[in-house]
Amino acid sequence: MNTNTTPRQTRWGRSRLFGGGSIALVAVSVGIGAVLSSGIGGLFATFGNPTKPWLAFAVVAIVTLPVSAALAWVILVDRTTITGATRNPDDSIENIWFERAALGAFGDLMIVLGLGAAAFAVFGLDIAPALLLSALFVLASADFAVRYLRISKAEG
């Protein structure tokens, strides 16, 4: 008996939980996304105290629907059924570059946090927390990006 047991690959993949084709996966993902978006919209309309709760519910639900549906798709899809998907993405050279850049950026961030804490303690500095955290986020992101680009240029 000559049967092909390799799953067919498509652009959108197939579900790893319930089988079916790409259309079923996308339909279920959009359905789950709609439920999740409706929940988020309901929470906003309830606790956000808007002047027009139904309008606020509709806007939030519509705006969050694409992200919610994409999240559901990512959770449900079987990677082996997606055309062109890397079999073991954790073993790729890009992942190694990512890990090295993240490790270096984290070390730099620890140094900056330590020196910053010492400066705040010694000089009694008073800066708004939102500004400080935003600056640290930008610094860490830029540090990671520069490190990743340097590593990829040197080894790629």
Q: What is the pLDDT of residues 52-108, one digit of tens each?
A: 999 999 999 999 999 999 999 888 887 777 777 777 777 889 999 999 999 999 999
Q: What is the mean pLDDT of the chain?
A: 88
pTM: 0.61
1, 7, 152 from 4: Cα distances, Å: 10, 8, 39
| Rounded Cα–Cα distance for residues 144 and 65 (Å) | 31
Q: What residues does each domain of the chain span?
A: 14-81, 89-155
Strand (E) or helix (H) holding 78: strand 77-78
